[in-house]
Structure 1
Amino acid sequence: MGKHDLLFRKPIARWDEALPLGNGLTGCLLWGDGAPLRFSLDRGDLWDLRLAPEVQDERFTYAEMIDCVRRGDQEALLSRFDSSYERYPYPTKLPAGRLELCVDQPADQVVSRLALREACAHVELTYGSRAVQVSSFLHAENGLGYIRITGGLSGKLAVVPPDYTGMHEESGESAVFHTSLTRLGFPAASMHEEESLHWFHQKTPLELEYAIIAGDQELANGDRLVVYAIAANHDGEAWLEEAKRKVKTALVEGYENALRDHASWWKRYWDKSSVSLPDEEAEGMWLLTNYLFASCSRKGAPPMPLQGVWTADEGKLPPWKGDYHNDLNTQLSYWHYMKANRLEEGESFLDFLWELRPAAKAFARSFYDAPGINLPSVMTLKGGAMCGWPMYSLSITNQIWLCQAFDHYWLYTGDWSFLRDKAYIYFKESAECVLRWLAPGEDGKLRLPVSSSPEFHDNRLEAWLDPMSNYDLALLIYLFRRLADMADRQELYEERDQWSAVLAQLPELAVNERDVLMINAEESMTESHRHFSHMMAVYPLQLLDPRNSERDKRIVDASIYNLEVLGKGQWVGFSFAWAAAMYAQQGNGTAALYHLQQMWRYLCSPNGFHLNGDYRHAGVTMYHYRPFTLESNFAAISALQDMLLHADGETIRVFPAVPADWAEQEVAFQDFRGEMGVVVSARMSSGQLEYVKLRAERAGVFRLQNDFSGERLHLDMGGKTEFIICGRKKVADIRLEAGESCAVTMMK
């Protein structure tokens, strides 16, 4: 058993506490007591893409929204831009269905284990003196699911479609959490058998059709093998027959051969980077979260929406319809992967955004009456608008937050062709849309016609802010500052000057008399709130850096202190992860770790899934619900990695925010990614930095802050040695060619 494997000694009674398996496109949740043992299945591209009529109305425009705000017409705002989110069950992510292995009675004892490094689930069911082992994995490459049963379980295998036809009654509560699948109006699935195969075929009122096909076979040694596929008409003309053929072939080839190839893929994945921490909880959560990441984000598959590849299995729509929320959720989900050196898996999000450029252009034109690109902030797999609170679901600046995904990739890889051919283009096209609506105010400074700050004042009229919010302003400053830098690096000097001119016309961030970042120039944050949108300039945009100037440090420290004064009563899970990230930027590792622990212990399911609220009633927040979303898991690990390595601004700082008790033990990371194509490893123990290793993927000069205990440093570059003098906390410039490595230690 692996050190950090998930282990449960009681039956798992809920889908959101299940053992999660995934291969990027498909997912499985394994849970139950044997009567039945459930395999809840999902596939990332199963969507009901029907749009609400309001979205297709000619009055569904930014200009109309502005007019409603200026008239104070809340009824029109709700009816045209908001209410359809709950009025209609669609658009929505769809569950795929499930497999059930069922015997006549529950097992006397159930022990469930998820082997993280092998990505394989194991369940032992004990019936009196007889023990039955069930092992299962979702193949990392061929897309099929495998189940092996040893010990002679003779239970029935059932292929169960989602409940589209009426077994569950709707509760009458908010559609965000409680809408029955029956409202979608789908017909009942047809059930089929053929030799060793069982499947259902689900048709819909849309073009979409899909099926779950399971093959069930007794083996010569007495074991039982089940192989399954989740297939859809996205897969090609003969999609169903091809899926049946694959299942039959896999039954012949067997479990062990498939497991060997599957485990090999996961070994390559785990070899990309690692951590060694004196805190078992933190080390285990890093491992588990990177497991979840590869399970639900994979190149060639859609990026993760709110629940990744684990759509709710309870006869209802998933929380928030399992959609793509671009006002926080998608962005946080892809914060950590660059530093963790999981490039290929994270590229799923970039590919998705890039491929949606035609949809983003169409939406910029139809909704914003603007050139360039802009995506709805609450959207479908294809970029269709889903409405909701309009000041956030239709915010013009959330597109800029999406731009940061391209910026991160360019900065961490140093890939000049990516900068030229994608990052700069995506930023530039996003700016074209925003510029259509930026205009000078009475003070001569540029401003948007309407503004907001997620999610202050919820969806009330007070949420429309005047003057412009720090949230919108920080994103605008970031957009044009980064555009100017990108243009300058490419020697596009006229464009650089154009972006710099826009930047110069933006107002300054609003700060009150206590040096605290405000919501906007008229309103300070005076009560606990879940969203730190007013502090975007601290993190993730890092426009204010406490290492840069005394003024920046005052504002960062005062704004974080203000969060402490207001308390955590109205926080949710992502609040704790975001706060940890800001403490890490501040250099306060003790506070960063404390907030991560609060989230992991009280707002996460036993299987690690982030459940938003303090469902354990531990008293850490006032919210006690448990809707599952994934973004906070990845934001938390991003904060943990920031405690170990800070590389922004092209200066490498190792262990910038580790707690004091960690530093006195041993802490290390291997093959984290710094900026401009450098891979970094480091270790410290007994309060002393032992080494820093740099490996250059691209030629360059890499700036390393001296965090050793002395000034005399030894550089070993493949047998070539160099000795330099560098003051403590000063920066040493280390030139490396592509493929060259350097080990830095302190001279004895």
Structure 2
Amino acid sequence: MRKYYLQFNGPIVRWDEAIPLGNGRTGCLLWGDGELLRFSLDRGDLWDLRLAPEVEDERFTYADMIECVKRGDEEGLYRRFDRIYEKYPYPSKLPAGRLELRFGTPANGVINKLDLQEALAHVELKFQDDYIVQVSSFLHAVNGLGYIRIVGDRAADGYLDIVAPDYVGEHVDDKSDSVFHTSLTRLGYPAATMHTEGSVRWFHQRTADDLEYAIVVEERQCEAGERVAVYAIASNRDGESWLEEAKRRIASALDEGFDVALCEHASWWARYQEKSGINLPDEEAEKMWVLNNYLFASCSRKGAPPMPLQGVWTADEGRLPPWKGDYHHDLNTQLSYWHYLKANRLEEGESFIDFLWNLRSEGRRFATKFYDAPGINLPSVMTLAGGAMGGWPMYSLSITNQIWLCQAFDHYWLHTGDGDFLRNKAYVYFKETADCVQRWLEPGEDGKLRLPVSSSPEIHDNTLNAWLDPMSNYDLALLIYLFRRLLVMAEWLGYANEAERWSEVLELLPKLAVNEKDVLMINPTESLANSHRHMSHMMAIYPLQLLDLRGSERDRAIADATIRNLELLGKGQWVGYSFAWAAAMYARQGNGEAAIYHLRQMWRHMCSPNGFHLNGDYKHAGICMYHYRPFTLEGNFAAVCALQEMLLHTDEGTIRVFPALPAEWASQTVQFHDFRGEMGVLVTASMSSNEMEFIKLCAERAGKFRVQNDFAGDRLQLRFDGRIEQLACPRGEIFDITLMQAEVCTITAM
């Protein structure tokens, strides 16, 4: 795989185009115009967790929401469940502050560069009289500290300042009630206090609740023409002596030195990069895979909070981040964690599963208080602590979005084959979710189970028309998925009585609504009539994969017709993640040409130069009607997922390599190594000049693995450790390979 960089030959003047650094818990955006370099800092657990008073009201319940819907009380819905999201500036993710490096005079030239393999940023500043200053920086992958080295004849001239967020300044809202324009001053915090102790400097910020935090920095002159600074984002969440501990760690890091720290940091990233890889004849696609896996480890790490909308790169512009940087469960968190399992980045992705599992107590509390139900259910728009934030209630308080969260546990079990995880976590999480949902399932006139209210994100936005009757395909697909997977899990675990229970519920669910053109509908009375950003009515195709595109002609016809209907309606109201989601569906369909076309549309027109997904067609290229640029991450990782689906399918235990390649790729050389299949097998494969060269399987667990023969002939050679076997299998058919734990098998054509 090639070595990749982000490089910008010129100043960076926007925070959302900055060089991104991160270690999962803390993040840094490096940007500036040459006179000033900004290090915009963030930490994943800096949150204002105050809830709107309405959330604690006794009428903030599912039952009351249903009553509002049934009597058509749009004002009541808006006032009690919706408006609170914009009425209050809290709860919200908070920016940490920034460091500013000033040299007192503008630079004549600026080169910004990020080494994606080593997670190391370089900025070269050229001043008059050919003075050059080089600034190198990284956020340590292991110890969590930030490092800055300044080298050059004018290194001593640069002043490194600490700047606290503007919580008391004169910033004026463009629209005081907008999620895009809310000033930080509305939070009501006191100004930060500035402190100096020898060569150590910091600011101390108090917030409206019990959170306190600081940015602490210390500098040292190493030798003539070289300075090193180390900084930390510390908070009282770190322990009783949090501030003194931060100072101690910084001093120790400076004693150790920049180069020693960089070596340990680079070693961590080297191990991460080696977990899997690709080699494509398409340099753009390959670079985006590398870049986004870099972004993933930068903003998601085991032991740290999972990424909210902006990960560890909260906006640095005197305002709250877009959509308050919250956790949205009607698409955003799920898409953000679509790709990591196949990419074999387990530990980094476990952050999300650990987070959901550790919030089960809050899920139980919310299920009891809001849904008047047993089991668990989290708000679909929520804080770091699981608190409800309100907003469009048909989505922010949807009872079925919790099922989509369950899929994270299902996917983890399937890709690892960890039976203990299935028994002790995945099945438990599914079952407790079902306990809550079943409280509200009721038979309709046809005897089939239904929910009392239904919706399909984000059809009809937040109007009364968004409340659908009969039940939407979105809600129904999630219900079918929930009980189908519970049945499979119970059978696998040998829970016969519970398997029978889930089977009975499945029998009582209606069928997905399909119109006369074989197109999946929004619900049985409405088909999608206009372009729309959210593919909610198509959940059965992807990501739930309820339709059997290979084994059922009827299912294939429905999927094909529904995807064609997207083409008919056009992309006018799509946003960035829509292109990524469509690419994933095309890849599952086997249409590599359409998949890569849609990925290129997103990458080229809806991503910042640094790769950040900006949602809208901010370049005005004409690919959709939205021309704004709010940064969120789900589109980034949904696109990587779609790219991986072009290279490997692993549905229902069958390994299919290169199932959706564009013709241009297939005629050249395409390779990937150590992608994760199902049940704990790692897959490596190579194709050249339209012919499969080899497939290699490495079993983390003993088992029988199914492989589709996509080689040129029907006679195969299986090379194991110390032995060779021959196998006859018609082209396109499936064959089985039994492997012991740690055993490797390489498959080639004879």
Query: Are 1:716 and 2:719 matched, yes or no?
Result: yes
- Amino acid across the alignment from 2:148: I
SS across alignment from 1:483: helix
Residue aligning to 1:92: 92
Q: Residues of 2 paired with 1:714 and 1:221: CA distance? A: 64
Conserved 8 A contact 2:703-2:740: yes
Q: Residues of 1 paired with 2:178 and 2:213: CA distance? A: 25
Residue aligning to 2:550: 547
Conserved 8 A contact 2:19-2:121: yes
Query: Are 1:630 and 2:618 matched, yes or no?
Result: no
Residue aligning to 1:76: 76
Q: Residues of 2 paired with 1:250 and 1:492: CA distance? A: 54
Structure 2 counterpart of 1:585, from 569, 585, 588: 588
- Displacement of 1:174 after TM fit? 4.5
Structure 2 counterpart of 1:227, from 225, 230, 251: 230
- Displacement of 1:125 after TM fit? 0.3
Aligned ranges for residues 681-692 of structure 1 at < 5 Å? 681-692=684-695
Aligned ranges for residues 338-353 of structure 1 at < 5 Å? 338-353=341-356
Residue aligning to 1:112: 112
Aligned ranges for residues 464-543 of structure 1 at < 5 Å? 464-543=467-546
Conserved 8 A contact 1:212-1:231: yes
Query: Are 1:456 and 2:447 matched, yes or no?
Result: no
Residue aligning to 1:294: 297
- Amino acid across the alignment from 2:620: H
Query: Are 1:26 and 2:26 matched, yes or no?
Result: yes
User: Cα deviation per residue 1:703-735 (whole Å; 9 max; x = unaligned)?
Assistant: 000000100000000121100100001011000
Q: Residues of 1 paired with 2:185 and 2:471: CA distance? A: 43
User: Cα deviation per residue 1:665-699 (whole Å; 9 max; x = unaligned)?
Assistant: 00000000000000000000000000000000111
Q: Residues of 2 paired with 1:246 and 1:42: CA distance? A: 19
User: Cα deviation per residue 1:621-644 (whole Å; 9 max; x = unaligned)?
Assistant: 000000000001000000000000
SS across alignment from 2:223: coil
SS across alignment from 1:107: coil
SS across alignment from 1:347: helix
Conserved 8 A contact 2:673-2:683: yes
Give me the TM-score of the superposition, normalised by structure 2.
Answer: 0.99
Conserved 8 A contact 1:89-1:175: no
User: Cα deviation per residue 1:376-431 (whole Å; 9 max; x = unaligned)?
Assistant: 00000000000000000000000000000000000000000000000000000000
- Amino acid across the alignment from 1:134: V
Residue aligning to 2:219: 216
Structure 2 counterpart of 1:318, from 316, 321, 324: 321
Residue aligning to 1:400: 403
- Amino acid across the alignment from 1:381: L
Q: Residues of 1 paired with 2:427 and 2:48: CA distance? A: 33
Q: Residues of 2 paired with 1:720 and 1:330: CA distance? A: 45
Query: Are 1:133 and 2:111 matched, yes or no?
Result: no
Conserved 8 A contact 1:197-1:215: yes
- Amino acid across the alignment from 1:58: E
- Displacement of 1:2 after TM fit? 6.8
- Displacement of 1:3 after TM fit? 3.8
Residue aligning to 1:329: 332
Q: Residues of 2 paired with 1:106 and 1:364: CA distance? A: 57
- Displacement of 1:365 after TM fit? 0.2
- Amino acid across the alignment from 1:50: R
Conserved 8 A contact 2:87-2:177: no
Q: Residues of 2 paired with 1:222 and 1:306: CA distance? A: 40
Q: Residues of 1 paired with 2:202 and 2:82: CA distance? A: 39
- Amino acid across the alignment from 1:379: M
Conserved 8 A contact 1:683-1:691: yes
SS across alignment from 1:178: coil
- Structure 1 unaligned blocks of 5 or more: none
Q: Residues of 2 paired with 1:101 and 1:193: CA distance? A: 18
SS across alignment from 2:617: coil
- Displacement of 1:104 after TM fit? 1.5
Residue aligning to 2:102: 102
Conserved 8 A contact 1:450-1:464: yes
Conserved 8 A contact 1:375-1:383: yes
Query: Are 1:672 and 2:681 matched, yes or no?
Result: no
- Structure 2 unaligned blocks of 5 or more: none
Q: Residues of 2 paired with 1:491 and 1:464: CA distance? A: 40
SS across alignment from 2:229: strand
User: Cα deviation per residue 1:646-681 (whole Å; 9 max; x = unaligned)?
Assistant: 001100000000101100000000000000000000
- Amino acid across the alignment from 1:299: K
- Displacement of 1:220 after TM fit? 2.0
Q: Percent identity?
A: 71
Conserved 8 A contact 2:35-2:104: yes
User: Cα deviation per residue 1:167-191 (whole Å; 9 max; x = unaligned)?
Assistant: 3111125521000000000000000
Query: Are 1:419 and 2:416 matched, yes or no?
Result: no
Q: Residues of 2 paired with 1:731 and 1:719: CA distance? A: 25
Alignment length, in residue pairs?
747
Q: Residues of 2 paired with 1:169 and 1:408: CA distance? A: 45
Q: Residues of 2 paired with 1:599 and 1:216: CA distance? A: 42
SS across alignment from 2:408: helix
Conserved 8 A contact 1:2-1:115: no
Q: Residues of 2 paired with 1:529 and 1:2: CA distance? A: 37
- Amino acid across the alignment from 1:649: E
Q: Residues of 1 paired with 2:482 and 2:208: CA distance? A: 42
Conserved 8 A contact 2:21-2:27: yes
User: Cα deviation per residue 1:7-40 (whole Å; 9 max; x = unaligned)?
Assistant: 0001000000000000000000000023210000
Q: Residues of 2 paired with 1:175 and 1:513: CA distance? A: 41
**Cα-Cα RMSD:** 0.8
Conserved 8 A contact 1:710-1:727: yes
SS across alignment from 2:69: helix
Conserved 8 A contact 1:23-1:295: yes
SS across alignment from 2:179: helix
Query: Are 1:52 and 2:55 matched, yes or no?
Result: no
Conserved 8 A contact 2:3-2:117: no
- Displacement of 1:564 after TM fit? 0.1
User: Cα deviation per residue 1:296-355 (whole Å; 9 max; x = unaligned)?
Assistant: 000000000000000000000000000000000000000000000000000000000000
- Amino acid across the alignment from 1:315: G
SS across alignment from 2:404: helix
Conserved 8 A contact 2:476-2:512: yes
Conserved 8 A contact 2:30-2:40: yes
Aligned ranges for residues 1-16 of structure 1 at < 5 Å? 3-16=3-16
Residue aligning to 2:203: 200
- Displacement of 1:546 after TM fit? 1.3
Residue aligning to 1:439: 442
Aligned ranges for residues 626-665 of structure 1 at < 5 Å? 626-665=629-668
Aligned ranges for residues 235-384 of structure 1 at < 5 Å? 235-384=238-387
Residue aligning to 2:146: 145
Conserved 8 A contact 1:2-1:116: no
Q: Residues of 2 paired with 1:327 and 1:687: CA distance? A: 40
Conserved 8 A contact 2:4-2:117: no
SS across alignment from 1:177: coil
- Amino acid across the alignment from 2:44: G
In structure 2, the CA distance between the partners of 1:44 and 1:740, relative to structure 1 (3 Å rule), is: same
Q: Residues of 1 paired with 2:191 and 2:177: CA distance? A: 25
User: Cα deviation per residue 1:413-456 (whole Å; 9 max; x = unaligned)?
Assistant: 00000000000000000000000000100010000000000000
Residue aligning to 1:556: 559
Q: Residues of 2 paired with 1:631 and 1:337: CA distance? A: 12
Q: Residues of 1 paired with 2:686 and 2:177: CA distance? A: 50
